[in-house]
């Protein structure tokens, strides 16, 4: 198809208007004048003689620097260009020049046809392959960009052509739906084609630097008034305003797109994009109007038009991309070819093409992550040097006898999983998930006893001294009956005791050591470490967990968490682990009655606390802050402790616990509460895990809206550990509907896994676990909340590929892509 006369006329008109307005680099509907000229000369029409191409590239480069030229230089360049265009049209008259277009390409004959970009997109495959820049070419070397603009793009981390192709839009606005004026609905993004009935352009009477363009439009169904605003003194000139009136003269046909809004004067289109058409049925040329528009993430000093211009310049290189996924795999999972997906994610001709492109690219993000995790798991299982532990023996049998309760079916199932792993020379790497109070510690003890009776040592590491001491107390009560020594090592352990522990570890006299990060310090040397247990493992960094494992020769590793993890999140951060779930609570546990309260119901909460304390029970009061904040209107632990002790419950003993206290002070506060010397314990979230007082029946959480759902569920788990009915009161001063909805989830459910799913939906995966240590990937397009089914497909595909060839040697491109993504995008930290 040839470029018709109006295309050349538009270019000549742009040059004429720029000259008329004094070479000010006018801002058009979509581009600045210089950007429009740079884009125009940045791509060759098909059939252009080779001797002309250098001239086109030179003009593109000159207009890339247009904004930095003085007025005289601009005038000279525009004059030269107008003469050149006139000469070019005259010389090439009669020559057919292909219009830039891309045909539809299907993934396979048996699959749906996904469209690659249509005439509104940059280049056809044939032209692209001939003119495409290399994927690793620097952006500064692109004639349409140049060094100055490349420096700006570097602020977004964009340096090469490949970076641009993979800089996917953060969102899209769909202007592809064309409607009539009487069909406009507020809140929709649409395109209309209408005729201008009248046009006015004037300076705002209230702001001399603001110019207003108002158009009255009509089609055969109705009328519509639209307006655009131009901020800047140069738009206030009479000459500019008159030129706009000529451009949008009465009777002119225009295509208009934007968001429909309802006002007191009726419906309108907010700050619309406008394109003049020669005739009502003409094709719309704009890269915005009548199509799905990409929206890119920007930063200071980088405008949308620059990113769009750079991506457009890079798009020909997409035709050079070789798809790392074999055709059979693409067909099986109905995936668009990679080069088509990249085209369609940037310049989708319609919403279906965008959906197909996004699905393929999301699949890739999940697939290579899962492939990396499975490869890591495969390599770990090639190690055949771990200790083979005896699952049955005297210690394990004796422990079963001294247990005062029957194990649940879920506990026994998980124990069987663990003991099966311990009999292999391949090191165990298993995660045990269990809700608060589900009995994970008992499961870990049986595994530790299996190691000890096999002649090995065990280590149990917890993230806080409070939790480490809690585990130590439980283990001492059991191990004393089995005549086994166990020690506690934390930052508070005295030097003399520390030396004694180190000595007994090295000789093998000490079979089990419980502790915090102190366990991974250099002086701690085990004689024969066979099993490592890590509690609340997501609170430790990858390196910290690895250091403890390095204290032995490929010890088995059992990690535990009382923070239930949603399925998608577990696959993402623990895809290289075997996972077991204790999804059953011990019999006799009563559901904790949970109620969301407002500040006006505070006295009701205090009445409940008094009633429970009168029956000999105890109460937790948890706050988000240690001391009062000037910036946040929140209750602090220190202030609330004073208030409760002096004003509300002067006849009771109120204790205080927070993270800034010394270890001795913490121990004293917990001991007094555990022994019943204090009836109320005011605390920060230091009580979230580890404090086990079965006599406590009320948990009051102040400013509950400040906590995540999973954290609130953890806090709730501090009560309900005895036989008596327990209560959780969630006090909130927030009137936000979202905050109230979140708290309703806790009122209605005791299921930690359901709560964690909802927490991820409300806050996102990074916030649920804590982004710094959790290893949650920063996906470009994928969402763990919305794309669960694609993640499961990607995991399935990765598993099948690993079954065929875990080395990936038969798929060189796939192996290289995995290496690139692992090193460049994930940095290795995601693999736990």
| Structural domains of the chain in order of their starting residue, each with its CATH number | 5-108 (no CATH), 172-295 (2.40.50.140), 439-561 (3.40.50.300), 593-749 (3.40.50.300)
> Sorting pLDDT into bands at 50, 70 and 90, what band is 537?
low
**Alpha carbon distance 312, 309 (integer Å):** 5
Strand partners, 535: 560
Which CA distances in Å does 15 have to 8, 228, 247?
A: 11, 23, 14
Backbone φ, ψ for residue 816 (5° rounding) = -70, -40
Residues whose CB is less than 8 angstroms from the CB of residue 802 and which lie 6 or more positions away in sequence, other chains included: 371, 374, 375, 378
93 pLDDT above the threshold of 50: no
How far apart, in Å, do the first and last CA atoms of the chain sit?
55
User: Are 398 and 482 a contacting pair, CB within 8 Å?
Assistant: yes
117 pLDDT above the threshold of 60: no
pLDDT (tens digit, 9 = 90+) per residue, 749-792? 877 767 777 777 766 655 444 443 344 456 788 777 778 889 88
pLDDT the model gives residue 793:
92
- 3-state helix, strand, coil split of the chain in percent (to 5) is 45, 20, 35
461 pLDDT above the threshold of 60: yes
533 pLDDT above the threshold of 60: yes
Q: What is the CA radius of gyration of the chain?
A: 34
Q: Is 455 helix (H, G, I), strand (E, B) or coil?
A: coil
Q: Is 227 helix (H, G, I), strand (E, B) or coil?
A: strand
Residues whose CB is less than 8 angstroms from the CB of residue 751 and which lie 6 or more positions away in sequence, other chains included: 435
pLDDT the model gives residue 440:
86
What's CA 197's distance to the chain center, in Å? 48
pLDDT the model gives residue 285:
55
**Alpha carbon distance 724, 85 (integer Å):** 89
The vertex-826 CA angle with 821 and 832, nearest 5°, equals 125
**Alpha carbon distance 696, 676 (integer Å):** 10
DSSP 207: -
Burial class (CB in 10 A: 0-12, 13-18, 19+), 824: exposed
31 pLDDT above the threshold of 90: no
pLDDT the model gives residue 801:
93
Q: What percent of the chain stands above pLDDT 70?
A: 80
**Alpha carbon distance 43, 144 (integer Å):** 9
H or E stretch at 563: none
Q: Give me the torsion for CA of 748, 751, 752, 753, rounded to 10°.
A: -110
**By mean pLDDT, which of 81-95, 207-221, 417-431 is the weakest?**
81-95
pLDDT the model gives residue 774:
42
**Alpha carbon distance 542, 553 (integer Å):** 18
User: Are 686 and 745 a contacting pair, CB within 8 Å?
Assistant: no
pLDDT (tens digit, 9 = 90+) per residue, 674-717? 888 999 999 887 775 556 788 999 999 998 888 888 788 888 88
- Bridge pairing between strands 189-203 and 486-489: unpaired
Q: Find tokens 């899209």 and name the residue.
A: 172
**By mean pLDDT, which of 22-26, 98-102, 185-189, 453-457 is the weakest?**
98-102
Backbone φ, ψ for residue 318 (5° rounding) = -60, -30
pLDDT the model gives residue 47:
64
pLDDT (tens digit, 9 = 90+) per residue, 161-205? 999 999 998 877 666 678 888 888 888 888 888 899 999 999 988
User: Which residue, 699, 738, 743, 734, is CA-closest to 718?
Assistant: 699
Whether the model pTM is above 0.85: no
Q: Is 595 helix (H, G, I), strand (E, B) or coil?
A: strand
| Average pLDDT of the segment spanning 528-538 | 81
**Alpha carbon distance 138, 609 (integer Å):** 68
Helix ranges (H only) for 454-539 are: 465-481, 495-507
């Amino acid at each position: 198809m040839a470029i018709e006369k109006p295309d050349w006329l538009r270019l000549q008109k742009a040059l004429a208007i720029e000259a008329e307005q004094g070479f000010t680099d006018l801002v058009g509907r979509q581009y600045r004048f210089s950007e429009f000229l740079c884009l125009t000369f940045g791509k060759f029409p098909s059939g252009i003689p080779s001797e002309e191409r250098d001239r086109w590239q030179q003009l593109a480069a000159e207009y890339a620097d247009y904004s930095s030229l003085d007025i005289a230089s601009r005038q000279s360049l525009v004059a030269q260009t107008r003469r050149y265009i006139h000469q070019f049209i005259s010389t090439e008259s009669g020559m057919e020049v292909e219009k830039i277009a891309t045909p539809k390409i299907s993934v396979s004959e048996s699959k749906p046809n996904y469209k690659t970009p249509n005439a509104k997109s940059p280049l056809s495959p044939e032209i692209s392959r001939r003119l495409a820049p290399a994927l690793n070419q620097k952006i500064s070397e692109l004639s349409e960009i140049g060094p100055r603009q490349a420096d700006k793009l570097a602020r977004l981390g964009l340096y090469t052509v490949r970076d641009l192709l993979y800089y996917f839009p953060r969102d899209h606005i769909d202007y592809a739906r064309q409607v009539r004026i009487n069909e406009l609905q507020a809140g929709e993004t649409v395109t209309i084609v209408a005729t201008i009935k009248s046009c006015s352009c004037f300076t705002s009477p209230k702001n001399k630097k603001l110019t207003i363009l108002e158009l009255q439009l009509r089609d055969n169904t109705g009328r519509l008034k639209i307006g655009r605003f131009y901020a800047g003194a140069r738009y206030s000139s009479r000459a500019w305003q008159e030129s706009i009136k000529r451009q949008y003269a009465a009777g002119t046909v225009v295509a208009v797109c934007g968001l429909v809004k309802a006002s007191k004067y009726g419906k309108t289109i907010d700050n619309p994009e406008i394109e003049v058409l020669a005739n009502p049925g003409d094709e719309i040329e704009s890269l915005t109007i009548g199509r799905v528009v990409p929206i890119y993430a920007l930063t200071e000093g980088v405008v949308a038009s620059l990113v769009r211009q750079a991506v457009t310049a890079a798009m020909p290189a997409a035709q050079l991309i070789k798809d790392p996924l074999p055709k059979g795999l693409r067909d099986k999972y109905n995936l668009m070819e990679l080069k088509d997906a990249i085209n369609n994610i940037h310049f989708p001709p319609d919403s279906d093409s965008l959906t197909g492109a996004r699905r393929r690219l999301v699949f890739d993000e999940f697939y290579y992550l899962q492939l990396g995790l499975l490869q890591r798991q495969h390599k770990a299982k090639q190690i055949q040097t771990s200790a083979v532990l005896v699952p049955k023996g005297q210690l394990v049998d004796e422990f079963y006898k001294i247990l005062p309760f029957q194990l649940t079916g879920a506990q026994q199932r998980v124990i069987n999983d663990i003991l099966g792993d311990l009999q292999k020379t391949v090191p165990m790497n298993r995660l045990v998930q269990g809700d608060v109070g589900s009995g994970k510690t008992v499961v870990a003890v049986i595994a530790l006893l299996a190691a000890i009776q096999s002649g090995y040592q065990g280590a149990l590491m917890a993230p806080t001294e409070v939790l480490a001491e809690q585990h130590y107390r439980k283990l001492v009560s059991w191990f004393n009956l089995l005549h086994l020594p166990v020690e506690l090592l934390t930052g508070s352990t005295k030097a003399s005791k520390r030396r004694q522990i180190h000595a007994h570890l090295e000789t093998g006299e000490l079979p089990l050591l419980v502790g915090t990060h102190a366990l991974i310090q250099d002086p701690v040397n085990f004689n024969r470490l066979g099993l490592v247990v890590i509690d609340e493992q997501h609170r430790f960094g990858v390196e910290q967990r690895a250091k403890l494992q390095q204290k032995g020769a490929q010890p088995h590793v059992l990690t535990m968490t009382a923070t239930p993890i949603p399925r998608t999140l577990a696959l993402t951060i623990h895809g290289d682990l075997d996972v077991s779930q204790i999804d059953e609570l011990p019999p006799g546990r009563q559901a904790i009655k949970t109620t969301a309260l407002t500040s006006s119901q505070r006295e009701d909460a205090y009445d409940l606390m008094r009633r429970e304390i009168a029956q000999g029970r105890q109460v937790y009061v948890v706050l988000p802050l240690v001391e009062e904040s000037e910036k946040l209107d929140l209750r602090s632990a220190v202030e609330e402790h004073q208030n409760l002790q002096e004003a509300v419950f002067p006849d009771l003993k109120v204790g205080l616990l927070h993270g800034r206290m010394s270890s001795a002070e913490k121990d004293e506060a917990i001991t007094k509460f555990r022994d019943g010397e204090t009836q109320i314990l005011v605390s920060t979230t230091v009580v979230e895990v580890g404090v086990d007082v079965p006599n406590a029946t009320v948990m009051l959480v102040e400013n509950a809206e400040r906590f995540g759902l999973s954290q609130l569920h953890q806090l709730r788990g501090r009560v309900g550990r005895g036989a008596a009915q327990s209560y959780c009161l969630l006090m909130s001063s927030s009137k936000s509907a979202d905050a109230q909805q979140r708290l309703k989830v806790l009122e209605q459910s005791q299921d930690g896994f359901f709560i964690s799913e909802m927490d991820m939906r409300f806050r996102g995966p990074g916030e649920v676990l804590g982004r710094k240590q959790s290893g949650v990937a920063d996906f470009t397009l994928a969402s763990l909340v919305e794309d669960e089914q694609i993640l499961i497909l990607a995991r399935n595909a990765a598993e099948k590929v690993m079954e065929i060839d875990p080395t990936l040697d038969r798929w060189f491109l796939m192996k290289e892509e995995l290496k690139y993504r692992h090193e460049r995008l994930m940095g290795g930290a995601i693999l736990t």
